[in-house]
Chains A and B, each alone.
Chain A
Amino acid sequence: MIPAAFEYTKATTVAEALAALQAGGEDAKVLGGGQSLLPVLRLRLNAPSVLVDCSGIDEISGIREEGGKVVIGAGATHHAVMNNALVKSSVPLLAQATATVADPQIRHRGTCGGSMVHADPRADLPPVALALDAEFQIAGSGGQRTVKAAEFFQGPFETSVGPDEILVSVSFPKYDGWSTHYEKFNRTAQAWSIVGVAAAVRMDGGKIAEARIGLTNVGGTPMRASAIEQALVGASSLADIEAAAARASDGLAPFADDDADEEFRLHLARVLTKRAVAAASGLK
């Protein structure tokens, strides 16, 4: 488990990081908390020639409110995110999903931004970003640009962040008063999601007035269940939810692995969507 040799640069500003990436060329790679990159290096699945360590860039590590949005610096650790008062009150779904990521040791190193940019199809945070219409601020040599979640995740381990760019922050609209639940299904507490469903609902008079659903590990990217979101509006009972969730697998073409073949994964998408919405809404 010894990585191949690499050059190492520690950046202290975004500008330094961008310069280092540009100097490093195509083989340079951003190191955040190392949650995913270090295993890849140690297993020699990849051997970048240069690592640009961005874990010490203060300007991208904080969590703040700005323009009515909750802005999570790309370098904020999972631990910081899930314990942040603003996140807990205004983006509770993110706090809940983050609390299921790996274990406490990893949550102290791994970062929200790193998890988004790594874009593992099994990851827990991308479906939250997708369901909540988060936006990604990306810095490059030509300045900053903003990308919507719906365009950010482009494929397995592939996002719209270019090789010479870095993610600066992820901003979430505020969802104060929404009820949320992250339903993670895995074999052991520290294992990857086999399927995960992120659900947020706004209740009005005992009925679902608005719903947002994101699924993980049912395709190469996180999936937004827009059809169900519509179908859930007006739901006032578990039976209503179940009827809507029965369509959660529509249009999905998941892959098969040791934990779940296609049939089981589609089944889980339906069952877990029902459970996630039921838990979020409290409807019986």
Chain B
Amino acid sequence: MTATTETPSALGRPIKRKEDARLLHGQTNWTDNIQLPGTVHMAILRSPYAHAKITKLDVSPAKNHANVVNAFGAAELGDLNGSIPCVWPVTDDIVMPAFPALAPDTVRQVGDCVAVVLATNPQSAVDALEDIVVQYEPLPVVIDMEKAIAPGATPVHADAGTNVCYVYNLGGGYEEVKAKADVVVKRRFINQRLIPAFMEPRSVVAAPMGMSDEITVWSATQIPHVLRVLLALVTGIPENNLRVVAPDVGGGFGGKLQCYREEVLVVNLARKLGRPVKWTETRSEDMLATHHGRDQIQDIEIAATKDGKLLGLNVELIANMGAYLQIITPGIPLLGMFMYPAIYKMEAYNFKCTGVFTNTTPTDAYRGAGRPEATYAIERIIDELAAELGMDPLALREKNWIKHEEFPYTTVSGLTYDTGNYEAATAKALDLFGYDELRAEQKRRRDSNEPVQLGIGISTFTEMCGLAPSRTLGALKYVAGGWEHCTIRVLPTGKVELITGTSPHGQGHETAWSQIASSILGVPVEDIEVVHSDTGRAPYGMDTYGSRSLAVGGRAIKLAAERLIEKARVIAAHQLECSPADLEFVNGVFQVKGDASKQQPLGAVAFEAFTAHNLPDGVEPTLQGEATVDPDDFSYPHGTHLAAIEVDTETGKVRVRTYVAVDDVGIQVNPMIVEGQVHGGLAQGIAQALYEGAFYDEDGQPLNATLSTYLIPAAPDLPSFITGQTVTPSTTHPLGTKGVGEAGTIASTPAIINGVVDALRHLGVTEVAMPATPMTVWKTIQAAKGGK
């Protein structure tokens, strides 16, 4: 056997996902599919009021219902009513209210948990909820953020005495540069409230395992490792007795990056009852009780010279926390804080964020988490500035963006972007889009006053992903690190186990991680099993969110594989009776340099390491490599997205006619998965622009908390996306990769709204609220016409 022929590396190939045959054939294991003998099912009585005192609660009638095992309110639960954690106290004087799983005396949002019933079947548990006696005394409700922080507003948490959660400031010097500016443009943007709406509802099962003190928790979560730590802290169960498994998980988008009330309740009740407890939410519960995203008021001001040179940016945010602080609720706006200056050079940047409590569902991470808000604001205000200056919006961007030869570049907010090539991505996007032709068509439609007007939306975005260097997180007062772990084992039979701390829920890690390892170990992709999402089998990790899995976890995979090769090299050299330095490793085989007849495949080395009959002195048996890696920096994907938007001025209906997305995510491990991530991201970003928005009436009642009123676009509502790529390898990542999970969502929202406004600007329109529904657009046009 010789190994002189180079086989193509698995890295960079659009191979089909290993996961999909199983997923598509229903061979899945969702949490709700887990059926353990003796399981009791939990149902939750939720508050119908946004703010009320609980004046009476009697759960005992529910206990008489057939098949009911027990029922609990906060009083009955006592010490087992754990407090839900927030791990990101962003300032020293932040207000962090208590957040018991079951509300003991006051409810603060519609959907607050008041009592639980446990029964031997889910139907009986739900039926018995109606037997619980509960009385409320409604309290004044605060929904509007500005009213919530006005003097005299009723505090959501009476003992806090205020609805201001925190005030955060960064930067400075804006007023000085504003003084010398020729043009200042100010806008208020509303980044509306969104619901993650993943496909698989949340579900959790906890079971005492009997043979030991272990309690195993299965949860539809993005964060089994973090959840284990938090459940140990909240419940007092020793961490080493807790095993958390995220089985197949059907989407998350940040909504499953959480330690939820229901998870704490299920674990504590399983412990109390000594038997498995299960809870699966209904879609109605999901819309109320899964954390929401976005919900910021953004006052944005930009200062420039009359020839379009940017001088400075002032950002003032009011961010809705909701009724309670969940895992990283206060930190979400700060994840965007550094990104408002985006790809542009400027002299000064001021940032201020006020976090506010209201009687609404708590907010937290939702795909992009802070960065979509930042990107929306900067890309919108750049278009408004261009209009004010009478410049082409692309020309204004080009004048101010960081040139490719200027990298690495430290932005006004203090981040150092390692690489980027905005010129290349924009040129490619323009090529795919037909910019000049569309501008000509736009003019034609305007001149002839056609009912359907055309707009061109631009978004030259960047983002920071790969959360994150642990020291940076520490400096931001985040109570955890941002490292990632990988262990790779070559088993005696030559098969490979790759144990990762990332926790996929649709991203295709099993395929992509196999491709990375295959490219280094020379082992076929199909011989690599990726082990994940189970703290019993994959004990170390920081899980999956913030486009971090490849950006951080990929580093650990590469280093673990390289360490494994180095150990194997020593063993192989011993077998081949040469020095390790005399060996080269090609396509999974060690061979003596210059003598291809003397070689040993990796699998044979693994078998030697297993038998340990003939290992060199000092070399331990078994063949594995481990790495726990803390990234040096974030990673900064970027791209240019262009949208041709048709607006029917008679009905206000918006149609995305053409959407071009050119993304630079660095080296691509699997281009097909990259494209899939971009497509899904675009759909979600476009959804914010045109379709989605969760609203409350002034009593705090959700107005559209069903999937027939909270509209999510499907395939017929979206265009066929045109995607392209440029590849500027990251210089801070050993694989040259960046991240792609959130890029499409971050980029597309401003591209769409810029296009809508561009289509209508000649009518006097300068802003269209999101979601840009037909009625909103039509009314905006009427108002602009009336104002002329």
Residue contact A267 to B778, C-beta cutoff 8 Å: yes
- Docked CA distance A188–B704 (Å): 15
Q: Which residues of A in the span 177-191 have a Cβ within 8 Å of any Cβ on B? A: 185, 187-191
- Which A residues are in CB contact (< 8 Å) with B695? 258
Residue contact B716 to A189, C-beta cutoff 8 Å: yes
Decide: A2 near B122, CB < 8 A? Known: A43-B284, A191-B711.
yes
**B703 near A: Cβ within 8 Å?**
yes
Contact of A264 among B123, B127, B778 (CB under 8 A): B778
- Which B residues are in CB contact (< 8 Å) with A191? 708, 711
Min CB–CB distance A10 → chain B (angstroms): 21
**B779 near A: Cβ within 8 Å?**
yes
Interface of chain B: mostly helix, strand, loop or mixed? loop
**A260 near B: Cβ within 8 Å?**
yes
Residue contact B653 to A185, C-beta cutoff 8 Å: yes
Residue of A nearest to B654 (CB): A187
Residue contact B717 to A189, C-beta cutoff 8 Å: yes
- Which A residues are in CB contact (< 8 Å) with B713? 188
**A192 near B: Cβ within 8 Å?**
yes
**B701 near A: Cβ within 8 Å?**
no
**B714 near A: Cβ within 8 Å?**
yes
Interface size on A, residues (CB 8 A): 23
Decide: A188 near B714, CB < 8 A? Known: A2-B126, A261-B775, A264-B778.
yes
- Docked CA distance A259–B703 (Å): 12
Residue contact A260 to B775, C-beta cutoff 8 Å: yes
Encode B282-308 as 1/0 by CB contact (under 8 A) with A.
111000000000000000000000000
Residue of B nearest to A191 (CB): B711
Encode A17-46 as 1/0 by CB contact (under 8 A) with B.
000000000000000000000010001000
Q: Which residues of B in the span 756-776 have a Cβ within 8 Å of any Cβ on A? A: 773-775
Q: Which residues of B in the span 415-449 have a Cβ within 8 Å of any Cβ on A? A: none
Decide: A187 near B709, CB < 8 A? Known: A2-B123, A258-B695, A271-B651.
no
- Docked CA distance A192–B284 (Å): 19
Contact of A5 among B122, B127, B704, B714 (CB under 8 A): B127
Residue contact B709 to A258, C-beta cutoff 8 Å: yes
Min CB–CB distance A245 → chain B (angstroms): 12
- Docked CA distance A194–B775 (Å): 10
Q: Which residues of A in the span 234-262 have a Cβ within 8 Å of any Cβ on B? A: 258-261
Encode B687-730 as 1/0 by CB contact (under 8 A) with A.
00001000100000001101011011110110000000000000
Residue contact B711 to A271, C-beta cutoff 8 Å: no
**B582 near A: Cβ within 8 Å?**
no
- Which A residues are in CB contact (< 8 Å) with B282? 1-2
Residue of B nearest to A256 (CB): B775
Contact of B284 among A1, A4, A187, A189 (CB under 8 A): A1
Q: Which residues of B in the span 125-145 have a Cβ within 8 Å of any Cβ on A? A: 126-127
- Docked CA distance A21–B284 (Å): 31
Residue of A nearest to B451 (CB): A271
Which one of A39, A194, A264 has the greatest number of beta carbons of chain B within 10 Å? A264
- Docked CA distance A43–B282 (Å): 10
**A268 near B: Cβ within 8 Å?**
yes
- Which A residues are in CB contact (< 8 Å) with B650? 271
- Docked CA distance A258–B706 (Å): 13
Residue contact A187 to B711, C-beta cutoff 8 Å: yes
- Which B residues are in CB contact (< 8 Å) with A264? 652, 774-775, 778-779
The number of chain B residues touching the other chain, given as a range, is 20 to 34
Residue contact A189 to B709, C-beta cutoff 8 Å: no
Min CB–CB distance B124 → chain A (angstroms): 10
Residue contact B774 to A185, C-beta cutoff 8 Å: yes
Encode A175-217 as 1/0 by CB contact (under 8 A) with B.
0000000000101111110100000000000000000000000
- Docked CA distance A194–B653 (Å): 12
- Which A residues are in CB contact (< 8 Å) with B122? 2
Which one of A189, A192, A258, A272 has the greatest number of beta carbons of chain B within 10 Å? A258
Decide: A194 near B774, CB < 8 A? Known: A2-B123, A188-B691.
yes
- Which B residues are in CB contact (< 8 Å) with A5? 123, 127
Residue contact B775 to A4, C-beta cutoff 8 Å: no
Encode B644-658 as 1/0 by CB contact (under 8 A) with A.
000000111100000
Q: Which residues of B in the span 627-666 have a Cβ within 8 Å of any Cβ on A? A: 650-653
- Which A residues are in CB contact (< 8 Å) with B123? 2, 5
Encode B97-137 as 1/0 by CB contact (under 8 A) with A.
00000000000000000000000001100110000000000
- Which A residues are in CB contact (< 8 Å) with B704? 258
Encode B557-581 as 1/0 by CB contact (under 8 A) with A.
0000000000000000000000000
Which one of B122, B651, B695 has the greatest number of beta carbons of chain A within 10 Å? B651
- Which B residues are in CB contact (< 8 Å) with A260? 774-775
Residue of A nearest to B712 (CB): A188
Contact of B691 among A185, A187, A194, A261 (CB under 8 A): A187
- Docked CA distance A39–B284 (Å): 11
- Docked CA distance A267–B651 (Å): 8
Residue contact B773 to A259, C-beta cutoff 8 Å: yes
Residue contact A258 to B703, C-beta cutoff 8 Å: yes
- Which A residues are in CB contact (< 8 Å) with B779? 264
Decide: A187 near B774, CB < 8 A? Known: A1-B283, A2-B126.
yes
Q: Which residues of A in the span 4-18 have a Cβ within 8 Å of any Cβ on B? A: 4-5
- Which A residues are in CB contact (< 8 Å) with B774? 185, 187, 194, 259-260, 264
Residue contact A188 to B775, C-beta cutoff 8 Å: no
- Docked CA distance A1–B713 (Å): 23
- Which B residues are in CB contact (< 8 Å) with A187? 691, 711, 773-774
- Docked CA distance A10–B651 (Å): 46
- Which A residues are in CB contact (< 8 Å) with B778? 264, 267
- Which A residues are in CB contact (< 8 Å) with B651? 185, 268, 271-272
Min CB–CB distance A218 → chain B (angstroms): 15
Min CB–CB distance A44 → chain B (angstroms): 9
Residue of A nearest to B652 (CB): A264
Q: Which residues of B in the span 738-770 have a Cβ within 8 Å of any Cβ on A? A: none
Residue of A nearest to B121 (CB): A2
- Which A residues are in CB contact (< 8 Å) with B711? 187-188, 191
Residue contact B775 to A259, C-beta cutoff 8 Å: yes
- Docked CA distance A192–B711 (Å): 11
- Which A residues are in CB contact (< 8 Å) with B708? 39, 191-192
Residue of A nearest to B771 (CB): A187
- Which B residues are in CB contact (< 8 Å) with A271? 650-651
Residue contact A4 to B127, C-beta cutoff 8 Å: yes
Min CB–CB distance B203 → chain A (angstroms): 13
- Which B residues are in CB contact (< 8 Å) with A4? 127
Min CB–CB distance B356 → chain A (angstroms): 24
- Which A residues are in CB contact (< 8 Å) with B127? 4-5
Encode A255-284 as 1/0 by CB contact (under 8 A) with B.
000111100100110011000000000000
Min CB–CB distance A281 → chain B (angstroms): 18
- Which B residues are in CB contact (< 8 Å) with A194? 774
- Docked CA distance A191–B284 (Å): 18
- Docked CA distance A264–B717 (Å): 22
Residue of A nearest to B201 (CB): A1
Residue of B nearest to A257 (CB): B709
Min CB–CB distance A257 → chain B (angstroms): 9
- Which B residues are in CB contact (< 8 Å) with A190? 714, 716
Residue of B nearest to A195 (CB): B651
- Docked CA distance A187–B687 (Å): 11
List of 10 A-B pairs having minimum Cβ-Cβ separation, nearest first: A189-B716, A1-B282, A264-B775, A2-B126, A188-B717, A271-B650, A188-B711, A2-B123, A187-B711, A260-B775
- List 13 interface pairs A-B (beta carbons < 8 Å), by A numbering: A1-B283, A1-B284, A2-B123, A2-B282, A185-B653, A188-B713, A188-B717, A189-B717, A194-B774, A258-B695, A264-B652, A264-B774, A271-B651
Given contacts A194-B774, A258-B709, A261-B775, 18 further A-B contacts (CB under 8 A): A1-B284, A2-B123, A2-B282, A5-B123, A43-B284, A185-B651, A185-B653, A187-B691, A187-B711, A187-B773, A188-B691, A191-B708, A258-B695, A259-B774, A260-B774, A264-B779, A268-B651, A271-B651
Give the interface of B toward A (CB within 8 A). 122-123, 126-127, 282-284, 650-653, 691, 695, 703-704, 706, 708-709, 711-714, 716-717, 773-775, 778-779
